[in-house]
Amino acid sequence: MNEVSRSGRPTLDEVAALAEVSRSVASRALNNAPHVSRAKREAVERAVRELGYVPNPKARALATRQAGAAALVISQHDPSVLADPFFGQVIAGVSSVLEEADLHLMLCLAASDRARKRVGDLLRSRGVDGVMMMALHADDPLAHLAAETELPVVFGGRPGGADPRWYVDIDNVAGARRATEHLLAGGRTDIATICGPLDTEVGRARYQGYREALLLAGRRPHAPEAGDFNEPSGAVAMARLLEKHPAVDAVFAANDNMAAGALRALRAGGRSVPHDVAVVGFDDLPVAQIAHPPLTTVHQPVRALGREMARMLVGVIEGADPTPLLLPSHLVVRSSA
């Protein structure tokens, strides 16, 4: 016989456990809310009959307002960002968890005033049960929308200048420091960096890791050449570095896309990799393996980042208060350094 609560009355948590669904799915099934599969609805109904569960009227009233969806808001305006393998893997991780929770995914690109207004309208109308936000810049208006909404908000990466309650991030400082230490260990003496936008937390943190490694080794860091996390900006930044510092013998690029651009610029400049200039990236995306030469890079669990963001959000929706999560990274050595 299944256990019931101490009061003798079965609880919604017990219904969900017996039906092998999440608490939010059980709640939506009991209230005939949309976006619940037939199989899960029938499993909940069987559990209700077996346990003799009677819904709480107040809880029922609250549950009927559930939207059955979660939003992933990316502070970008160019739809081509969705072709970036990084965001593709994040979305795949998010989708896999939301599917298990019977929550639909709503994807929003929101870097323009008009797009941010639509996101604000969505949050005010409670058109979703919760929100995940990524790629925020310093003083990003999306952070203000997140602070104003009563909906749960989970951040992918800490937004600059904010101290969010719930977020999932990578240890970017340690990863960048490890990449730079690898270049130092290889005997490189003039190490430059192509950083991401320094008004983003990830750009700032990876530049910090590069600086720390050099300062601890008694070396003077170069001023950063900033890119925008895409391949063309990495090529432009590398060309600038070669012009300013022709003796440079190593480069840490803050993501693989920019590292691939750096490789292209080095070939165009007649430099051999790694003989003349060693290159290390960050992310370990597919481009790192097909680059010429294959790219030494810092691996971060990108799909896991999406999964953990979604798991955290589902937990908050269901009443939990999880602690922020920092995912580890490690160096993958290939031919470029």
Whether the CB-CB separation of 278 and 248 falls below 8 Å is answered with no
**Same domain for 283 and 262:** yes
**Same domain for 152 and 88:** yes
- Beta strand 330-332 with 296-299 is antiparallel
CA distances in angstroms from 184 to 91, 219, 280, listed in the order given = 35, 10, 12
- Which residues are CB-neighbours of 282 under 8 A, at least 6 positions away? 175, 176, 179, 206, 252, 253, 254, 255, 256, 259, 297, 298, 300
CA 250 to chain centre: 28
Residue 57 within any structural domain of the chain = yes
**Same domain for 319 and 254:** no
**Same domain for 310 and 287:** no
The predicted structure's pLDDT at residue 159: 79
List phi, psi (to 5°) of 26. Answer: -60, -40
Residue 85 within any structural domain of the chain = yes
The predicted structure's pLDDT at residue 6: 45
Residue 246 within any structural domain of the chain = yes
**Same domain for 123 and 25:** no
Residue 6 within any structural domain of the chain = no
**Same domain for 140 and 94:** yes
Burial letters 101-126, b for 16+ CB under 10 A, else e: bbbbbbebbbbeeebbeebbebbeee
The predicted structure's pLDDT at residue 84: 86
- Which residues are CB-neighbours of 309 under 8 A, at least 6 positions away? 90, 93, 94, 132, 154, 155, 156, 168
CA distances in angstroms from 117 to 92, 123, 135, 141, listed in the order given = 26, 10, 18, 10
The predicted structure's pLDDT at residue 318: 80
Closest Cα to residue 318, out of 5, 17, 54, 32?
Answer: 17
Residue 5 within any structural domain of the chain = no
Closest Cα to residue 296, out of 326, 256, 265, 337?
Answer: 337
**Same domain for 280 and 317:** no
**Same domain for 249 and 202:** yes
Instruction: Name the residue range of residue 288's domain.
Output: 172-299
Closest Cα to residue 27, out of 102, 82, 93, 91?
Answer: 102
| 332, containing H or E segment | strand 330-332
CA distance 233 to 238: 9
**Same domain for 79 and 228:** no
* Residue 5, burial from CB neighbour count under 10 angstroms (0-12, 13-18, 19+): exposed
Q: Which residues pair with 156 in a beta bridge?
A: 134, 168
CA 98 to chain centre: 15
- pLDDT per position in the chain (337 positions), as tens? 344 444 567 888 899 999 998 877 887 788 776 567 888 889 999 999 999 888 765 455 445 447 789 999 998 877 777 788 899 999 999 999 999 888 899 999 888 889 889 999 998 888 899 999 998 888 888 888 888 888 999 999 887 767 788 999 999 999 999 999 999 999 999 999 999 999 899 999 999 999 999 999 999 999 999 999 999 999 999 999 999 999 999 999 999 999 999 999 999 999 999 999 999 999 999 999 999 999 999 999 999 999 999 999 998 888 788 999 999 999 999 999 9
CATH code for the domain in which residue 51 is found: 1.10.260.40
- Which residues are CB-neighbours of 72 under 8 A, at least 6 positions away? 90, 91, 94, 105, 106, 107, 108, 131, 132, 133, 134
Q: What is the CA radius of gyration of the chain?
A: 24
CA distance 179 to 279: 10
Number of domains in the chain: 3
Residue 192 within any structural domain of the chain = yes
Residue 335 within any structural domain of the chain = no
CATH code for the domain in which residue 189 is found: 3.40.50.2300
Whether the CB-CB separation of 44 and 19 falls below 8 Å is answered with yes
**Same domain for 178 and 110:** no
Residue 252 within any structural domain of the chain = yes
Going by the DSSP 8-state scheme, the letter that residue 305 receives in this structure is: H
**Same domain for 82 and 45:** no
The predicted structure's pLDDT at residue 63: 52
